Each structure stands twice: as structure tokens, then as C-alpha cells.
Chain A
Amino acid sequence: MTPRIIAANLGVRLRSFYRERSAMFFTFAFPVILVLVFGTIFTKPEHLNLDLRVQDNSRSEASARLLGALAAGDAFTVTPVPVDVDATQYAKEHGLNLLLVIPKDFEALQQQRVTGPRAGVPVPLTYVYDPSSTSVDTKIRLLDTIVAAANQQATGSPPAIRLVAASILPERYRFIEFFVPGIIAMAIMTSCLSNVLNMNAELRQKGILRKLATTPITRADWLASSIVYQLILSVVSTVAILLVSYFVFDVRLHIGIWLPLILFVEVIAFVGIGMLLTPFAKEAESASAVANAFLFPMMFLSGTFFPVEMMPAFLQAFAKLLPLYYVNEALRAAMIFVDDAATLRSLGVTAAFAAVVFVAGTFRTRWDEGT
């Protein structure tokens, strides 16, 4: 291995990369755009605010108290509905998924509940809802909570059971915090695999390999250049993803010594896979097909976009055979959970995998007889 030759190869590859805008886009901008799009879709606003229509047929002190309680939390914006209309009809006509109806005798019933012959009988409160609406469950649950609190206040007795939340994570996290490490792993995988396949196909197809075979460049020089090149791209793309997620979504992930280690092992693993797949991608056209056939299942099944736990059991078992799954696990263990033991476990699996494919890939790569 000659540092001078590796430096010369790097110079050529970085220049070529810089001069090809589409490569720049797919390596750097594409993962950042994914973070922006998915971050925007899945990040819940700090103050969840839902529209709640209420038909107050009671117009009493009691109903006003209830309305006050509903509006008190930031959860609902309460909008009144005219009293003289049929609630179901109104909800249908106005496309409402939930309409709360306070009965005319709300106050009277409440009083009777405390005193009088009907003591102890709960006061009914009707809501009209559209079961086909996806967000209505959240509204009903919120409504339940507020009504339960109001009940408890009315009776004045403290709750028998109280739920205390304790997160398994040191800090509060959101979906985006899970998503960012997945995108980092995906971006590196995509870049390593498609660059190795495309580069090898191009060298072979155009006959550059034949020229290189008559120079002092050895296979070790070429592999080392590829790895250093991919490491440079990986670091730049990771920094871009982290900066954008920090400035746009305030994502604060733990960045320590594990991160570069995981990046390094991931690069070795996917450059190795690229070398193993090279014999199946002799032309530039088949190179991207081979790369995609490999990339897409990995992307969707390894927990990049959603947790593996959401998949059926047999797919979960399959996911645990994929290298990207372990890279995702290692990155999340290191950057979110800050769990050294878990990081080491997943990194160990990735490293073992990387060593096997890299050695196998090295033996399969033919440098001589390049045609």
C-alpha cells in the first residue's frame, strides 16, 4: 500500500465527485431532505391544539364550568354550535368528527345527583362522532381525561391510583430523534454500495481498469482509496444531517467516540458488500439495478423509517439477519440511549459481518485481466 498512490486516487475521485452535481445531490442533499420531510410530518407540535365543537343546550353555571375546564388545558379550542339544530345532522353537514352535546337539564341533573331521589346516578354527556375519522380517537381520549378530572373535582375525593411516567431514556425524545440515526446509516450504506458498484462497472466498461493494470497501483491501494474516499463522504453527510436536525428540529443526540467507530465499520461492511456484488454489475446500467435491489429491502426492513417492532414476527427475524439493522441499533444505542454495552454488542455484530464480507470481497475482486 503506497500513501502517494492512495492520495492520487483520492484526488481524482473527490474532483470527479465535486464535478458531478447529481452525485453531490444524492449523497448530501437527499438524506437531509428526508430528515426535513419526515421530521416535519412526524414531529408533534409542542402544544397540541384540537378543534372541539360543543352544543351547549344547558347554558347554565354548571355547563359554563365544564366549558371552562375543556378550554383550560391547551388541548382544545372550544367553538359553540347553535342550540336549535340537530347535532348529528349538523356534524354531518359540517364534516365534524366530534361534537359534544351538553343536555338542556345538565345543571338540574347535576344537582339531583347530589341531593334528591336520583342521587348517585351519573349525569350523561353525549358526543356525536365519526368513527371513520383517524384523529377522533385522540380527541375522545383527551375528552375522557378532562371529564374524569372534572368528575373527581366534583366528588372531591383523591384518586385511588395515580400513574407516574418514567421514561427509559435519560431525556425526553421524539420520533425525529429515532429517525436521524437511521438516516445517517442509510445515507452511508447507499453511498458506499452505489459508488463501489458504479465505479467498478465504469472502470471495467470503459477499459480504465486495463490501463490501471499496467501501473504500479495494487489491489490494496485501490481498496484503501475507496475506503478513505467513502469515509470522507460519510463524515460530511453525517455532519450535514446532524447540523440540519439540530438547527431545524432541535435534535440533540449524543456524539462521542462511538459515532466515528460505527461509521468506519459501516463503510468497511458496505464497501465489502459492493465488492461482492461487483461481478453481477458489469455495466453501469445493471450496477444501479443491483444496488437498488439490495438497498431498498435493507432500508425498509432494518428499522430506518420505523421501528422493527412494528413488523410481523417473521420479518423481525429476517431484519436481524441484515447488517443495516445492527448499524441502526448501534447508532441508536450510542446516540439516543447512551448505552455502551448495547452499542458494543451491535457494533461487534456489524464488525464481524464487515470483516467477513470485506475479506470475501477482496478475494473476489479481479484486478488483472480486466476485460
Chain B
Amino acid sequence: MPVPRQRSAPSVPDTGPAIVVDRLCKRYGAFRAVDDISFTVRSGEVFAFLGPNGAGKSTTAEVIETIRAPTSGTVTVLGMDVTKRKADVVRRIGVLPQNFSSFDRITVRESLQYYARVFGSRADIDALMDLTNLRDKSAALFNTLSGGLKQRLGIAVALVCDPEIVFLDEPTTGLDPHARRQVWEVLKGLKRRGKTVFLTTHYMEEAELLADTVAIISNGRIVAIDSPARLTEKHAEQMRLTLKSIDPAAAGLIRNLGFSPIPMGDDDLCVPVKTPGDVHRILEAIQRSGLALGGLDVRKPNLEEVFLKLTSESPAAGDRDRAA
């Protein structure tokens, strides 16, 4: 099969969007897995698709990856319609599918060589193993690898065709915290190399740590899309100042400043505040009054709060699995 190569202008920095999803719907019978969603992924960004299990993350990803056909709407990857130019699209994307698996009795090196041959790519297998920290496992059979190693191999396999966009579908689901951190290191490496990354996950930490843009999906619809910082700013109204082992008299003092302290037991007080300036005012008042203070903790709002708030607002979210 001839490979159409459009190399008129060799590797011009791609300023156009990497992925454009326009009014995408995917229905299974009466069930709307993906319900009229639209978004754009910019070239070079890490885009995280965040949602509870069954929200439609993987279905959306699989339509973009050309595995599934959309019911309606269009998906354009690097300017190509995925339903019309599947053969061209697959050569320029790298995919780590959900629960990546390879042939049981094939070694790490052989798996990489196999996929490199399939893509007709001259990828440097050793460099890929170095990137994913798999060098010392190169001769291990796939069925002897742990979950974390399998995922890292899956990421290496996704990179054999030197893709412009890397899709990672729940790359750390089911991994222990140590293995998860190792996968994150690999993802940060991808980010540094300027790859466009489309990541689906139900871990807030992961999105917060890695993503430039986060889209929160619930019941097949996007409920919010923005940078993690702006999302938390927009949707989580308050920071929480916790004052530990403080004199109970402080509650009145703080109330006089116009805040609403909440006693937490163990002489702790929790004060919802809006700005760092509020924290400053409260601490200054306590210092001036000479009341004893055991310790303090200021918690910024995080994506988890935004996520729980947004996904619980949409109907029927209660019976869905919540992120761990």
C-alpha cells in the first residue's frame, strides 16, 4: 500500500490545531455514550480528558484514534478527517489503548521491533527503551511483566512511529503509586519533547500535574474545559485556612473580621477565605491578640473539588464510580 507523504514543506512547525472535534455523537442503540461534544486540542499541548468511569472518555478517544466510527459529527486529526483518511491518520499518531496488552510470549524488544516493522519505521528501539526505562527488561517476555512495566512498554510502542500526537488512554489505571509515578516521569519526558498528548484519566492528580488543558466530561457531555489553574479558580470559590490548636476565643475575633470560622474539634478552626490577603489579615489579628496558635494549613482548591462538584451536578452521576 503506497504511503501518501505530504512533505512539500519538511516539518514546518504545525501551527494549526492538532485535533478538532466538532459536534461528535456516538450512540449505542438508545444510549448516548458521547453526546454532541466539541473541542480543540492545540499542537504541542497536553490535553487531559477527565471524567468518571463510563463518562465517555475512552469512547471519544477511540473515535479520534480511528478505532470506532462516530454516529455523527466530525473529527479532524492534523487536518485529516478520521473517517475518510484512517490510513494516513494512524501513521501520524501513537496510541496507548486502555489496558494495553501485547503478545504473551514475545519479549519487550521483540514487541517494539514488531510494531516498528508494522509502521515501517526505523525507530531507535534502544532509545525508546531508555526513555521508558525498560532497558534491563528488554529480554523479558510480555506475560512476565508487571502492570507498570506493561504500561511503559505500551507507551514505548505508541512512540515507535515517531507520532505527532500521542494518545494515552488511562495510562496509570490500576497501577500502584510507585509505578504511577514512573509512568508520570515518562509522560513529563514526552511533554518536554513537545509532543501533543491526548490523555484520558480519572485521576485528578494526573491531570493537574501534567495537563495544559483539562476537559471534564460527564454523561457524554463536556461540563468544563480550561487550564487546571483557571478551572479551580472559576469553579472552586474558596481556599481553606485551618488553624490548629488555637484558643477557642479566636473564633469570635475572626467572626469580627467578617469571616465564618467552623470549629473542627481538637481546638481546630477551619476558615473559608477568598484571597491570600484574607489569610494575612486573620493571622495578623491573631498575632496582635496574643492568642496561642499550634499550627496552620492553607489548602488551595484543587481539581478534585471542581471535578466532584461538576460531575455531581450532572444527573445520574451518583451511581457512577468515583475516582479513587
Seen from chain A, the residues whose Cβ lies within 8 Å of a Cβ on chain B are 1-2, 4-5, 7-8, 11-12, 15-16, 19-20, 206-208, 210-211, 213-218, 368-370
Contact = CB atoms under 8 A, between A and B. Distances in A.
Contacts of A211: 95, 97, 100-102, 154, 157
B114 A11 contact: yes
Interface of B: 1, 62, 65-69, 87, 90-91, 93, 95, 97-106, 110, 114-115, 117-120, 141, 154, 157, 167
12 contacts: A12-B106, A16-B103, A19-B105, A207-B98, A211-B100, A211-B101, A211-B102, A214-B95, A214-B97, A216-B90, A216-B91, A368-B67
Given A1-B1, A4-B117, A368-B67, 7 more contacts: A5-B118, A12-B103, A12-B114, A15-B105, A16-B104, A210-B98, A211-B102
Q: In this complex, which of A16, A211, A370 has the most chain B Cβ atoms within 10 angstroms of its Cβ?
A: A211
Nearest to A5: B118
Closest 6 CB pairs of A and B: A8-B117, A214-B95, A206-B101, A19-B105, A210-B97, A16-B105
A368 B103 CA distance: 19
A4 B99 CA distance: 27
A214 B119 contact: no
A4 B121 CA distance: 11
Given A20-B105, A369-B68, A217 B95 contact: no
B68 A368 contact: yes
A300 B100 CA distance: 42
A63 B100 CA distance: 87
B106 A217 contact: no
Nearest to B120: A4
Contact of B66 (A1, A12, A208, A214): A214
Contacts of B110: 11-12, 15
Contacts, number: 78
B103 A208 contact: yes
B68 A214 contact: no
A19 B101 CA distance: 18
Contacts of B118: 5, 8, 215-217
B114 A213 contact: no
A218 B93 CA distance: 16
A215 B67 CA distance: 10
B247 to A, nearest CB: 59
Contacts of A4: 117, 120
A11 B103 CA distance: 12
B115 A215 contact: yes
A248 to B, nearest CB: 32
A7 B68 CA distance: 27
B106 A207 contact: no
B3 to A, nearest CB: 8
B100 A216 contact: no
A215 B68 contact: no
Contacts of B90: 214-216
B99 to A, nearest CB: 5
A366 to B, nearest CB: 11
Nearest to B141: A19
A117 B320 CA distance: 113
Contacts of A208: 101-103
A16 B106 contact: yes
Contacts of A207: 97-101
Contacts of A210: 62, 67, 97-98
Contact of A216 (B1, B105, B141): B1
A368 B69 contact: yes
A14 B110 CA distance: 12
Nearest to B116: A8
A354 to B, nearest CB: 26
A15 B1 contact: no
A2 B197 CA distance: 29
A23 to B, nearest CB: 10
A218 B101 contact: no
A34 to B, nearest CB: 27
Contacts of A368: 66-69
Contacts of A217: 118
A207 B91 CA distance: 20
B120 A218 contact: no
A216 B114 CA distance: 12
A5 B99 CA distance: 24
Contacts of A19: 105, 141
Contacts of A213: 66-67
B117 A7 contact: yes
Nearest to A368: B67
A213 B105 CA distance: 21
Contacts of B167: 214
Nearest to B1: A2
B114 to A, nearest CB: 5
B101 to A, nearest CB: 4
A211 B110 CA distance: 16
Contacts of A369: 67-69
B67 A214 contact: yes
Given A2-B1, A5-B118, A370 B104 contact: no
Contacts of B98: 207, 210
A2 B106 CA distance: 22
A72 to B, nearest CB: 64
Nearest to A16: B105
B189 to A, nearest CB: 21
A368 B67 CA distance: 6
B145 to A, nearest CB: 13
